[in-house]
Amino acid sequence: MYRGFLRGFQTSGKFQGNGKTTFFRILNETANARMKGGLNVSKVYTWDQLFSRRQFLKGTVATAALGATAGIGLLEPEASMGLSNSPPQSPAKGVKYVTTICEQCVWRCGVIAKVENGVIKTLEGNPNHPNNLGKLCPRGNAGIEAMYSPDRIKFPLIRAGARGSGLWRKASWDEALSYTAEQMNKIKDKYGAKAMMFNSTDNLSQPFFESLLKAYGTPNYGTQRSLCFNSMTTGFLYTYGTPQPGTDYSHCKYMIFTGRNLAEGISNNETQEMIDMVARGVKVVVLDPRFSKTASKATEWLPVRPGADSAFFLAMINVIVAEKLYDKGFVEKYTQGFADLVTEVQEYTPEWAEKKCEISATTIQRIARDFAAAAPAAIAHPNWRTSNFVNSFQTERAIAVLNALVGNWAQPGGLIPDQEMSTAKLGVLSHPPFPLAQGIRLDGVPWKYPMVPLAYGVIQTMRDNILTGKPYEAKGWLISRQNPVLSIPERQKTINALMKLDFVVVIDIQASDTAYYADVILPESYYLERYDGLVPIKNKIFIRQPVIEPLYDTKSSLMIYKELAEKLGLGEFLPYKDELDLLSRQIKPFPVSLEKLKSDGHYEVENFKEDHSKDFEFQTSSGKIEISSSIMAQMNKKAVPTWNEPPRPEVDHYYLLTGKTAQHTQMFTQNNRWLLEVFPVNRAWLHTSVANKIGVKTEDDVVLESEVGKITIKAYVTEGIRPDCIFMVGGFGHVSKGLKSAYGLGASDSALHKTVTDPISGGSSLSETFVTVSKA
């Protein structure tokens, strides 16, 4: 009964609704595109001229008719329209199945693609893959649309008008990479390597991106983690010495979520495990100001006041300590600082917390007692970002400590230590030592944010410092698979920052909002057309491999990074000939050929023994779980979890909450027409009382205004949100005209969000933005 709750969350690759009809329409359009003929490489084109669907349709009746009747033969390579440097190829005949790894989000699920006469017909979940256990989510299923989208960038582009004007010219790969390298070397020679910033995060080829930026010598590496879960990773890092422990759903008897909406922010196997847990009758408590889909599946929904979840957890600790419900043996053996905690939480009684978080004292008491009784098979989930306030680091510390008190570490139904020791080790490529990066980082790590790990960074501060020119001027930005224009608060500031730079190069499969403001776009092959680095998960090694040959003149990021490194004179730092050479060397320690790995889709290491010997070796200063953090103490900060009062909105202002939907991935999939069929636009959730007050009903336009911006968006009137909150799904409101289906749809939260940063974790405190609402 729980399996069908996510629309489109299914084992079949056939998408629900009229997806099949859409699929053939897309195939026809793609085929028609090929009839357009060659482009003059020296001529300037608008985006519409480069990738016009209307022009695709001209003179293509015969081909379209053929496609509609035969459904095959439509996907000849781009060379047939004179746009490719690749030699002409013929699609392979017959049916084949290829195993690969999804990239419609960062979760890396196993996929089996069915290919018929060179056309990808279906994507199915790989039952052998632990990340998805045979199922694909809606976004994974819709990968076929992304593959055949007419909005793919089909060849390298160089800007030919003012930045952001949408005027481009076609370039060969040699020209585009040479020009990029020339601009990057010019910046390095004149201003030093530090003037060039590099951005990418969480993808299979990221280690090679990091090799490129380290070889170049810049300290400025941006990820997007500070926009997501910096408070969680730093909170757990400074408590357990590990940033992100796992959770054993299958044995858990009591789960508390706050800021983790697994039913809509899908992490495939975790979402399935959560639903199975609910089906088993496990007690699931969800703290969320909104009645999310996860809340709808929980046994108890607590509409907590935004920013005050911290009070709830501190009061739980108060009850567990006062009533001696903690695991005394575990606390004595594995933790430090318990006595300081006892003193700190004395004042955080359930009655005190009730006034802060607006959850009754009796409810807090009951949950604390029941949670402790279920321990160690009880988890306060580490979540992703709790409620997104400046105090979220302290909230995460309280959650981390609550788990420690009930002794659930490495216990069935509790937190799972990082399993690095129990994961197969790939072969590595040797290269010369990287040069020492010169200069401090523009994102303030560590000189402004001493507790933020270098690998996470604080991207919103990097953006701000491009604008201020302090502590030095940035000149160039290389961005791979990211879209800072829509992800960082205060969208206009990010556009201004891009406009200020001397040179911007973007690697992407589509014209993201950031690509639209670039000087060069290097088109990456879609995941179904390319290799990436191998992925070990415990005793299994998985491969992402091409399901079909690239349709267009695109390259894998592995080759883009390598060829760019060569043009920069840094080729020795990415020492592989091509993707297969790299993969062969990664798989070398194991008795399996690359051919066998490709045909099976994964390799299972024989006689692999999991190593749990280090489960209780905590990588903290004390070697123990730090209830009282040594590093916080050294920094003269409160070393035990504590309360920081979050701001409240003024009269007639509302908390602005943002979150995910199951049908889209951040700001990446809104141009996908299959997904738009099931989730066409974002809307502002208003409580009925608020809607009545301003006289609006569902589908009316409303204006939301914050200190930094204003948007118009459709209303969704509901009882399922606190009256002091307004919620919207992020990722809509694209400004790139290259995203023809998404352009103009909905509105962007990045136009409203203020830039507020937690000085400890570097996390972006998105929910500290308050808005007014009025009828449009």
Binding residues (CB under 6 A) for ligand SF4: these are 102, 104-105, 107-109, 132, 136-137, 139-140, 266, 268
Closest alpha carbon to 101 in 426, 530, 662, 418: 530
Q: State in angstroms the smallest separation of the CB of 267 from ligand SF4.
A: 6
3-state SS string over 161-190? Answer: CCCCCCEEEECCHHHHHHHHHHHHHHHHHH
Q: State in angstroms the smallest separation of the CB of 114 from ligand SF4.
A: 16
Q: Specify the residue, 130 or 439, whose C-beta has the smaller distance to ligand SF4.
A: 130
Q: Specify the residue, 137 or 521, whose C-beta has the smaller distance to ligand SF4.
A: 137
**Are 170 and 303 spatial neighbours (Cβ–Cβ below 8 Å)?**
no
Residue spans of alpha helices (H) in 34-85: 47-51, 53-57, 61-70
Q: State in angstroms the smallest separation of the CB of 612 from ligand SF4.
A: 28
Q: How many whole angstroms from its chain centre is CA 348? A: 35
Q: Specify the residue, 139 or 493, whose C-beta has the smaller distance to ligand SF4.
A: 139
Q: Each residue of 128-160: b (16+ CB within 10 Å) or e?
A: bbebbbbbbbbbbbbbbbbbbbbbbbbbbbbbb
**Distance set, CA 610 to CA 91, 538, 617, 618, 755 (Å):** 44, 8, 16, 18, 44
**Are 205 and 557 spatial neighbours (Cβ–Cβ below 8 Å)?**
yes
Q: How many whole angstroms from its chain centre is CA 246? A: 18
**Are 429 and 582 spatial neighbours (Cβ–Cβ below 8 Å)?**
yes
Q: Specify the residue, 3 or 333, whose C-beta has the smaller distance to ligand SF4.
A: 3
Q: Specify the residue, 140 or 235, whose C-beta has the smaller distance to ligand SF4.
A: 140
Closest alpha carbon to 644 in 263, 387, 291: 387
Q: Which residues, listed in sequence order, are joined to residue 536 by a DSSP beta bridge?
A: 541
Amino acid at 210: E
Q: State in angstroms the smallest separation of the CB of 103 from ligand SF4.
A: 7
H/E segment holding residue 542: strand 540-542
**Distance set, CA 94 to CA 97, 115, 116, 148 (Å):** 10, 8, 6, 20
Q: State in angstroms the smallest separation of the CB of 132 from ligand SF4.
A: 5
Q: State in angstroms the smallest separation of the CB of 515 from ligand SF4.
A: 21
DSSP for 107-149, written as a single string: S--EEEEEEETTEEEEEEE-TT-TTTTT-B-HHHHTHHHHHT-
Q: State in angstroms the smallest separation of the CB of 577 from ligand SF4.
A: 29
**Are 119 and 91 spatial neighbours (Cβ–Cβ below 8 Å)?**
yes
For 17, other C-beta atoms within 10 Å of its C-beta total 12
Q: Specify the residue, 531 or 685, whose C-beta has the smaller distance to ligand SF4.
A: 531
H/E segment holding residue 221: strand 221-222
Q: State in angstroms the smallest separation of the CB of 9 from ligand SF4.
A: 9
Q: State in angstroms the smallest separation of the CB of 484 from ligand SF4.
A: 21
Q: State in angstroms the smallest separation of the CB of 123 from ligand SF4.
A: 9
Q: Which residues, listed in sequence order, are joined to residue 616 by a DSSP beta bridge?
A: none
Closest alpha carbon to 485 in 520, 458, 516, 510: 516
Q: Specify the residue, 276 or 724, whose C-beta has the smaller distance to ligand SF4.
A: 276
Q: Specify the residue, 107 or 576, whose C-beta has the smaller distance to ligand SF4.
A: 107
Q: State in angstroms the smallest separation of the CB of 221 from ligand SF4.
A: 24
Q: How many whole angstroms from its chain centre is CA 311? A: 28
Q: State in angstroms the smallest separation of the CB of 129 from ligand SF4.
A: 9
**Are 294 and 409 spatial neighbours (Cβ–Cβ below 8 Å)?**
no
Q: Each residue of 201-216: b (16+ CB within 10 Å) or e?
A: bebbbbebbbbbbbbb
Q: State in angstroms the smallest separation of the CB of 227 from ligand SF4.
A: 18
Q: Specify the residue, 67 or 140, whose C-beta has the smaller distance to ligand SF4.
A: 140
Q: Specify the residue, 270 or 443, whose C-beta has the smaller distance to ligand SF4.
A: 270
Q: State in angstroms the smallest separation of the CB of 3 from ligand SF4.
A: 15
Peptide bond into 87 cis (omega under 30): no
Q: Specify the residue, 239 or 267, whose C-beta has the smaller distance to ligand SF4.
A: 267
**Are 775 and 695 spatial neighbours (Cβ–Cβ below 8 Å)?**
yes
Name the residue whose CB lies closest to ligand SF4.
140
Burial class (CB in 10 A: 0-12, 13-18, 19+), 89: middle
Q: Specify the residue, 6 or 317, whose C-beta has the smaller distance to ligand SF4.
A: 6
Number of residues that this document lists for the chain: 776
Q: Specify the residue, 126 or 769, whose C-beta has the smaller distance to ligand SF4.
A: 126
Q: Specify the residue, 264 or 300, whose C-beta has the smaller distance to ligand SF4.
A: 264
